[in-house]
Structure 1
């Protein structure tokens, strides 16, 4: 497929209402020519929408419309204290479907995809925001069981944050100062408390009877590309498999990349979306493009000339 110039692309800031209450702040980027498909990027915990800018612009440069956003209580979508009662499940079961539905309504006549990072991919794996999707890509999404972290030093560090420091701030302040703790953006306290609870269960949120996670995951029936990295100490291959093995009806493809594959010294949990990791973007683009062409081949719209194989 051809590469469009991002210089002439447009960006629109939008506010998307959420059924639970409030709204999320988002940015819709459109290519210079009519978009051939749409991608919604669902963020990780304590990660601002800014991290996804370069990757979003890359996709826009190849003809995709792309939506990025912050979960409620993070970034531009309200303060953590004002949203202190929000749980992690509210992000997954309310925010994710809300932005997906908005995107589908805004661009109704083109194929839709999603990219989920960490908890964003977990939400998709639980069948949230998947209605009408032609497929989704998960980046470093896993069953986040603390004791399953193989690196001992990282296991102790994460355990301290999720079991001691984070819950203490949540109870005392109603929020977690992620920036001060070095774990990313500030987040609502109830998010941390639920995350902490799940991290101590043998099978993460699949062991929370109030969530019905196994039943939700079993309903996913689209194409799924689950990507992990050899130097990600959180989302290890074992924990990625622990999540995506629960999707029996999905057409699943697993890939694991090393820093050497990307020509970078490290990737970790966040590095894929940084500009330095752009060598790993073309395989994801190709995966999205292949499914876009497949959908358009079977529609009355046909394939735009700039995307036809010459």
Structure 2
């Protein structure tokens, strides 16, 4: 790529409010664009987002971008002596706010935008830090109810007939079952429990999700992919309908327009730099 701004990257460690150590990669530059926090999809390592983060800093002059692994995923493993069971909700309630704070320390008070893929579109509300973002780009936003996908029985079986028994027997769910990185069993079981209900975690009173989503006033761009078997229009609407006080724009991209298959995770492949990344970054950067 033709770099117009200096860029450095380094691995960082930071603790959450409940003292769980997380690992992230901080990409820093000499531009004066916004800070950008990239929150991952479920069971997806932060390395998937490296090229996109580099592109923001090196080619668009972003001040810094941070990718990070949720607790129990990839390079944020459980440390010896940790006693409390890991839950999926912790990714939003503890991990995302800690990442905001870690990025904030790079340039206190500087403008900040967010990018969240799949589960990363849910943490905006649950993390309680939505007011820190000027804009938030959601890639494949959705709830996790199995019946909203285009592969409902396959998803139901993977989650509940294969994943849950393995989680109960071994304490972990390995990546080879086809749902991403190896996950702690307690995280997976909460994910699958939410996914069995048509209203997902909005039906879990302990989450207070309807209230949290209603508090968000951040401007949102939601991107859907027409060949995404998980992030279907009904799965997307099941989530976005709860952002009742946010200004939301939705766009759908097809493989023919993008120049190749996209699917649920493909947006962040560098091959889509011109077709998919460019208009999304224009929006993030207030250029439209």
TM range (shorter): over 0.9
The answer for the alignment partner of 1:145 in structure 2 is 145
The answer for the alignment partner of 2:204 in structure 1 is 208
The answer for the alignment partner of 2:108 in structure 1 is 108
The answer for the alignment partner of 1:182 in structure 2 is 178
Structure-1-length-normalised TM-score:
0.86
Aligned pairs for 1:75-224 (under 5 A) are 75-79=74-78, 85-126=85-126, 128-149=128-149, 151=150, 154-178=151-175, 180-224=176-220
The answer for the alignment partner of 2:245 in structure 1 is 249
Q: Does 1:268 align with 2:263?
A: yes
Q: d(CA) in 2 for partners of 1:195 and 1:225?
A: 25
Q: Does 1:41 align with 2:13?
A: no
Task: Report if the CA contact (8 A) 1:72-1:83 is conserved.
Answer: no
Task: Report if the CA contact (8 A) 1:83-1:188 is conserved.
Answer: no
> Once superposed, what is the RMSD of the aligned Cα atoms?
2.0
- Render the CA deviation track for 1:165-220: whole Å, top value 9, x for unaligned: 11112111111101x21322111111110111111112111111111100000000
Q: d(CA) in 2 for partners of 1:158 and 1:72?
A: 23
Task: Report if the CA contact (8 A) 1:80-1:187 is conserved.
Answer: no
Q: d(CA) in 2 for partners of 1:161 and 1:177?
A: 12
Task: Report if the CA contact (8 A) 1:170-1:190 is conserved.
Answer: yes
- Render the CA deviation track for 1:137-172: whole Å, top value 9, x for unaligned: 1111201111222x3xx2121111111211112111
Q: How many equivalent pairs are there?
A: 283
Task: Report if the CA contact (8 A) 2:131-2:218 is conserved.
Answer: no
Q: Secondary structure at the match of 2:202?
A: helix
Task: Report if the CA contact (8 A) 1:166-1:176 is conserved.
Answer: yes
In 2 relative to 1, CA 174–35 (structure 1 residues): closer, same or farther, beyond 3 Å? farther
Q: d(CA) in 1 for partners of 2:152 and 2:34?
A: 40
Task: Report if the CA contact (8 A) 2:37-2:100 is conserved.
Answer: yes
Query: Which structure 2 segments of 5+ residues have no match?
Result: none
- Shift in Å, 1:35: 3.4
The answer for the alignment partner of 2:19 in structure 1 is 21
Out of 253, 258, 275, the residue aligned to residue 254 of structure 2 is 258
Could you say which structure has the larger radius of gyration? Answer: 1
- Shift in Å, 1:76: 0.8
Task: Report if the CA contact (8 A) 2:131-2:216 is conserved.
Answer: no
Task: Report if the CA contact (8 A) 1:80-1:188 is conserved.
Answer: no
- Shift in Å, 1:276: 2.2
Q: d(CA) in 2 for partners of 1:258 and 1:244?
A: 20
Q: d(CA) in 2 for partners of 1:80 and 1:48?
A: 18
Structure-2-length-normalised TM-score:
0.93
Q: Secondary structure at the match of 1:201?
A: coil
Task: Report if the CA contact (8 A) 1:205-1:211 is conserved.
Answer: yes
Task: Report if the CA contact (8 A) 1:125-1:244 is conserved.
Answer: no
Q: Does 1:10 align with 2:4?
A: no
Q: d(CA) in 1 for partners of 2:117 and 2:210?
A: 20
Q: Secondary structure at the match of 1:131?
A: helix
Query: Which structure 1 segments of 5+ residues have no match?
Result: 294-310
Q: d(CA) in 2 for partners of 1:43 and 1:226?
A: 15
Q: Does 1:71 align with 2:89?
A: no
